[in-house]
């Protein structure tokens, strides 16, 4: 079995896992929750093996680079980071219904990578700017942060839905009754943002060092760099408001959602709408 077939199985596993988690959220049948977890774990394991095989395939072709260099490979890695981080949070907080708001990100990412028109899935030689030992450090740190921010965005949506239901006086047996308490969701959102912020910061630093090595300058205000720093300031402002002004609840939930929208534009919008030194990301 090659990497493409395993990625196909991963996409199917994430689809089924998302469906099970959504069914758990809607029907509140805890007996089916274990199936969602098992499918998510199976997807992560299959995806891990597939990425390893794709890396090996690149060496077999005489190219020899980590599978992190184009839009297809980065989507796959984003999906993997999101699913893996979700599973960590599920085991830590013992609540499976969160998967209904996070695992769809992993599935959609894999589905888009697999089926989007014009998506280049070939293993290609690296362009000169990518031929650096900083490649893995920069991409891995950024995308671990992105995976955490996807989780935080899903938690933000959860918080707002739960609060809206409570404000309307809906009973605990309503659709949102299975969601964790507001305080728990708020705490998870905050901790997830802190985790993602640390990794995004590391990603920006490694990217600056890489840029100096490749282009002779640490910062050039390339569109990708500009939007990365905008995203960084959104999350920095969120944490600052939390630490100094005691912001919590709906404010943090909205900022988590806004932050992920910024992450989304930094990742997709810049690649497809703006030209710059990072335009190779769309290939």
Pairwise pLDDT comparison (201 vs 63), residue with the higher score: 201
Tell me the Cα Rg of the chain. 19
Reported as a single tens digit per residue, the pLDDT across 154-183 is: 999 999 999 999 998 886 767 888 899 999
**Residues belonging to the chain:** 283
Q: How far is CA 72 from CA 39, 68, 123, 184, in A?
A: 23, 8, 10, 35
pTM comes to 0.92
Residue 221, number of CB atoms within 10 A of its CB: 10
Are the beta carbons of 58 and 125 closer than 8 angstroms? Answer: no
Which DSSP symbol is given to 130? Answer: G
Residue 239: phi, psi to the nearest 5? -70, -35
Q: What's the 3-state SS for 187-256?
A: HHHHHHHHHHHHHHHHHHHHHHHHHHHHHCCCCCCCHHHHHHHHHHHHHHHHHHHHHHHCCCCHHHHHHH
Of 33, 36, 42, which is closest to residue 10 (Cα–Cα)? Answer: 42
Q: Is the pLDDT of residue 240 over 80?
A: yes
pLDDT at position 279 is 52
Reported as a single tens digit per residue, the pLDDT across 114-165 is: 998 888 899 988 877 777 888 889 999 999 999 999 999 999 999 999 999 9
């Amino acid at each position: 079995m090659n990497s493409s077939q395993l990625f196909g199985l991963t996409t199917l596993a994430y689809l089924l896992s998302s469906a099970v988690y959504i069914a758990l959220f809607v029907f509140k049948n805890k007996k089916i929750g274990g199936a969602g977890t098992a499918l998510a774990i199976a997807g992560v394991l299959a995806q891990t093996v597939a990425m390893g095989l794709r890396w090996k395939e690149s060496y077999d072709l005489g190219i020899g680079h980590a599978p992190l260099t184009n839009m297809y490979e980065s989507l796959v890695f984003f999906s993997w980071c999101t699913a893996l981080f979700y599973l960590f949070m599920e085991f830590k907080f013992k609540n499976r219904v969160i998967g209904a708001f996070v695992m769809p990100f992993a599935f959609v990412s894999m589905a888009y990578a697999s089926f989007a028109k014009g998506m280049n899935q070939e293993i290609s030689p690296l362009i000169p700017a990518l031929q650096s030992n900083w490649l893995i450090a920069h991409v891995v740190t950024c995308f671990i942060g992105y995976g955490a921010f996807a989780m935080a965005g899903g938690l933000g949506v959860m918080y707002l839905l739960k609060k809206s239901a409570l404000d309307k006086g809906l009973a605990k047996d309503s659709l949102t009754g299975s969601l964790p308490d507001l305080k728990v969701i708020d705490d998870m959102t905050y901790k997830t943002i802190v985790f993602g912020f640390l990794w995004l910061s590391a990603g920006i630093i490694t990217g600056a060092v890489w840029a100096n090595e490749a282009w002779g300058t640490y910062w050039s205000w390339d569109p990708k760099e500009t939007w990365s720093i905008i995203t960084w300031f959104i999350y920095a402002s969120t944490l600052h408001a939390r630490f100094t002004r005691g912001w919590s609840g709906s404010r943090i939930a909205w900022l988590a959602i806004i932050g992920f929208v910024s992450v989304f534009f930094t990742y997709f919008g810049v690649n497809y709408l703006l030209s710059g030194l990072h335009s190779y990301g769309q290939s």
